[in-house]
Amino acid sequence: MWQMMAISFFIFSYAWPVDAVLSAGCISAAEQYQLNLTQLLMLSRRVLLSKKDLDYHERARFGPLLDAVFRHREDLLLPEDCPCAVLVASSVLIGLEATHIASGDHNTNMEHTKAFHRMALLQKAIKKSSETCSMSEARVWPAVQALDVFGDTYSAMIERMQNLQQWMMDFQEEAPITDEQHIQALADAAFALEGFEWWPCRGTLIALLRHGKRSGRLSNDKVDVVDHDVDIMVGIASHEDWIRKRFGVQDRLVERGWSHCFERYSVAIERHSNDKEFLLVRGDLFLCVRYNPQFTLDIGTYLTEGSIAYAQKYCIPGSGCWLPHDGSLRGSHGRLRISAIRPQGLCKAGPLSVPCPRKPLETLQATMFGVNFTRHCVALPDVARRLERDHYDSDRDPWLSEGLTQEDVDILWQRAADLDKEGYMSMTPYLRGCSSLRYATTPLP
């Protein structure tokens, strides 16, 4: 969708109509404001009417001219001045803004905010000038094509917003998925992220270490369902590189039946709405969704520097950069030691093997803020939290009546030993650490 909007600068390849001349109003405005509107007319006709690149020198003249016309928009808007020039210049500029956004030239929220502000001004100028650009003038200026560019840009922006809003509405509630669908999503992720360093995190990582899949059967028909969506972390070379490559990631997911992906931030907007820092945030999350069943693949990206991985780094030109204690890795002050990730091991995911981080607990502590892994042993189901979160139809549900039993713990030890035997990472090291804790949670009365 975004690629469609990219405006290319194309060479004019057919004869000029002889009557492509400026109106008296445009000539007079050109003189008064020192704008070469003849040149604007010529170059905008090339760009909007035909299909080949402008050369370097033409671009160098076109850019400043577009800006100058936009700066003088209020002076040119009356029908007897040169409103079509404003319409054409603003449309080319809005197309360029959209192209910059789509190709990831804006890395921080500040840059995005500024771009959206400029686009709002451009939109206003387009609306006003299209009301006063007359039919006869519009035959000289490429006004129809200008409005097409605006229309494409606008609907792409709307679509982007709708994708986000739709996701927020649809994914308020976690839909039930099966273990097979969960594994399939991991297989799709592996396919889409070939060539990247990646690993499951949060609930997905716990599930694979504990059961080698999304859920596991314990005693008395209890099922420990650990995970509801698929969470992964992806190492990227740079934000720019990721922006370029993530189109390919999305394409490959779409190929496998996913709907679309969109960018978000791991820094909570609510906590930052009045905060200048929020303007420095990069879009480090890439959420991919599919329907039937409804399901999110939650991709968090990180960069590395020296021995540290981080998701967010704020930079203020002139005064330097710092790693905020925020974002995906805020459980460990916004950074993670690379030795917690590499060299990667293997986790079992049903019939698949997927890469896993070297020190899983360290990555869980970094990515699952709010969970106290000292109080709660990561190797064992958190029965209290499960009771809080899930609905149980009957008092006779064994999670309610008996909680976690010694038999369950024995099953988990055995499962970990089986994973070890097959060469996979498991909960064995953490079960050892848990054994001194009281594992059984008092059942509800």
Ligand X SMILES: *[C@@H]1O[C@H](CO)[C@@H](O)[C@H](O)[C@H]1NC(C)=O
Closer to ligand X by CB, 124 or 325: give it.
325
Least separation in angstroms between CB 376 and ligand X: 8
User: If you search the block for the tokens 């050369």, which residue do you land on?
Assistant: 55
| Residues making contact with ligand X (CB under 6 A) | 36, 38-39, 372, 374-375
320-322 vs 314-316, strand pairing mode: antiparallel
Please answer whether residues 5 and 95 qualify as being in contact, where contact means their C-beta atoms are separated by less than 8 angstroms.
yes
Q: Tell me, what DSSP letter sits at residue 164?
A: H
Least separation in angstroms between CB 441 and ligand X: 14
Least separation in angstroms between CB 326 and ligand X: 17
Least separation in angstroms between CB 96 and ligand X: 20
Least separation in angstroms between CB 194 and ligand X: 38
Please report, as a single letter, which amino acid is at residue 388.
E
Closer to ligand X by CB, 48 or 354: give it.
48
Closer to ligand X by CB, 37 or 412: give it.
37
Closer to ligand X by CB, 374 or 394: give it.
374
C-beta pairs of 427-436 under 8 Å, 24+ apart in sequence: 427/209, 427/210, 427/378, 427/379, 430/209, 430/361, 430/377, 430/378, 430/379, 431/377, 431/379, 431/380, 433/377, 433/379, 434/377, 434/379, 434/380
295-305 vs 230-235, strand pairing mode: parallel
Closer to ligand X by CB, 76 or 347: give it.
76
Task: Output b/e per residue, 52-63; b: 16+ Cβ within 10 A.
Answer: eebeeebeeebe
Least separation in angstroms between CB 356 and ligand X: 25
CA–centroid distance for 394 within its chain: 41
